[in-house]
Structure 1
């Protein structure tokens, strides 16, 4: 079962390093330019999150919650903003994305911003973890094998991605990760929770951005 983690009311008052602000501003410009193009097919399921609030949430969780490990996974990483935010906080990060066009932009984000974030004291001084390898971005389906059966609606956007299971490529399973982040489409947040509850390790944390001023966190615990 999943146990909700009560987030502080003043979460949005937590300080954000200037370098994170700069990266977020740059990515918003890139995303707007990408979405304004008329000469390429639009990816309707790709919507940018409130990356500042996501940073504040992950920063607070890193500081206040017990972690079962150091691996962080982003379901549907897009431009890899959250993957890089988590990397700046000291996690070993992997992003999974099914759309090859978005994955190309994600790799560019990592190339442009990873070392900049890591080399700034205003970012790295906020945590004590040792930064390891550059975040890994993988094309594939973020749903563990068989988890589609947990959905009560076959039209959910997370279903039907005709790509290889990403966990096979990684040589990992969902229960190898301490923290998972998702931005569920309206109406599929419960499905993401069911998948996480079924496949995540006990003690792992699910973070969901569900819309403006709506971020949630859950911990997987043993059934009573």
Structure 2
């Protein structure tokens, strides 16, 4: 994990904003096709975040040398946004076909974001909440993706998640167990609007 708190860079210029806008528009078009061709035939957990809301949060938090991870990166739009903003950006996604889509999208937008097929749950982790219900909701089972990423969870400065309702406690538990000291967890959705930012288990934004 990167040390220190370097100063934030200047705002997003018009050219980069236009590039990210085009990325978002293509992301929504990919989603519409996915919803028609896949989700209307069988249930799938992928639902896109509000890209503009997440973008605004990433702009506020960007700084040189920060490493970003998206849990459940799907088509990769948010991870690519992070890369274009200057983060060292990685995405983990269980669905290998969506990983292929994300890699293609990254190539089209000149992004070096890295995508790996695998679970964002580290090997050996067991969710044991105080209430005793250790189900992991829609997150799904699969081999941990961290070995293929080349970084354990503790190496990331910012981790983004878009939990379905009821999955947020597990994400907090993962950060307590494996996240780096001072790392920020960004959560969007889960029954609330906007992007909430947590550091060491406490909400800061």
Distance of 1:112 and 1:217 partners within structure 2: 30
Which ranges in structure 1 are unaligned for 5 or more consecutive residues? 1-14, 116-133
Q: How does 1:78-93 map to 2 (within 5 A)?
A: 78-93=74-89
Name the residue aligned to 1:45: 45
Structure 2 runs not aligned, ≥5 long: 1-13
Structure with more relative contact order (C-alpha pairs < 8 Å, separation 6 or more): 1
Which residue matches 1:146? 124
- Please state whether the residue corresponding to 1:216 is helix, strand or coil: strand
Question: Per the alignment, do residues 38 and 221 of structure 1 end up closer, same or farther by CA in structure 2, a change over 3 Å counting?
Answer: closer
Structure 1 stretch displaced more, 138-147 or 208-217:
208-217
In structure 2, relative to structure 1, the CA distance for the partners of 1:153 and 1:84 (3 Å cut) is same
From 181, 190, 195, give the equivalent of 2:169.
190
Aligned partners of 2:106 and 2:138: how far apart in 1? 26
Q: 1:216 aligns with which of 170, 189, 196?
A: 196
Q: 132, 137, 153: which one pairs with 2:115?
A: 137
Residue 136 of structure 2 contacts residue 167 of structure 2 at CA under 8 Å; is this kept in 1? no
Aligned to 2:100: 104
Distance 2:164 2:39 in 1: 25
Distance change in 2, residues 1:147/1:20 (3 Å): same
Confirm or deny: 8 A CA contact 1:174 1:201 kept in the other structure: yes
Aligned residues: 184
1:156 aligns with 2:137: yes
Q: How far 1:70 sits from its partner (Å)? A: 1.9
Whole-angstrom CA distance in 2 between matches of 1:212 and 1:32: 23
Cα deviation for residue 34 of structure 1 reads 1.5
CA distance in structure 2 between the partners assigned to 1:62 and 1:39 by the alignment: 34
Give the conservation status (yes or no) of the 8 Å contact 1:84–1:114.
no
How many angstroms does 1:40 deviate by? 8.9
User: Aligned-pair distance for 1:30?
Assistant: 1.2
Q: CA deviation at 1:198?
A: 1.6
1:73 aligned onto 2:69? yes
TM-align CA RMSD: 2.5
TM-score, normalization by structure 1: 0.74
Residue number in structure 1 paired with 2:59: 59
